Amino acid sequence: MIFLKLIMGTLIGISLLLLVALVFIGRDRGLALFFGPVDEQKIDFVTLSLAPTPNQFLVCPKGYCNAPSDLESPVYNLSVDALKAEWMTLMNKQPRIEKGSVDSENLQYDFIQRTEWMRYPDSITVRFIPLGPTISTLAIYSRSHYGKDDFGVNEQRIKNWLSEL
């Protein structure tokens, strides 16, 4: 009986210590310490190959990406600059989103959006593609960093954003 109380006391003590440590370092840093840092890899849509896990969603114009896309990109009657401006306005309205790296020469932008409660990070890369002076499209790759399944979160996010755009 004393041994059981000692084990329970130790487990409670360790749990409290972890909780206090998490409060001081923050959830985001705690996740990075436990799972590893968010790997901000440079995405090349033309040569992209997808991971075998379902925790990702790819939108590409027909024939643009080497990897099979989950959804064909819509074509917009907007210049590429206007499409980019509309997208950035949409991103500014999104909760828990951080701007990442920018490749302005190639019109490619990275974002990280975290889940509300657990703060798991998902990376979203978007590239704006001019098709003419007043016609453009985009490629989007949304993926989770932790786990193997995202329960359709990346797909739903991108479909929602495209419908709002």
Confirm whether pTM is higher than 0.85: no
Of residues 70, 110, 66, the one with CA closest to residue 87: 110
Strand segments, DSSP code E, in the chain are 56-60, 71-72, 97-103, 108-114, 121-132, 135-144
Which pLDDT belongs to residue 118? 78
Neighbours of 24 (CB within 10 A): 9
The pLDDT, as a whole number, for residue 13 is 72
Nearest to 73 by CA among 144, 4, 18, 140: 140
Q: How far apart are the first and last CA of the chain?
A: 63
The pLDDT averaged over each successive group of 10 residues in the chain (165 residues) is 77 68 56 56 91 93 95 97 98 95 96 86 96 98 86 94 95
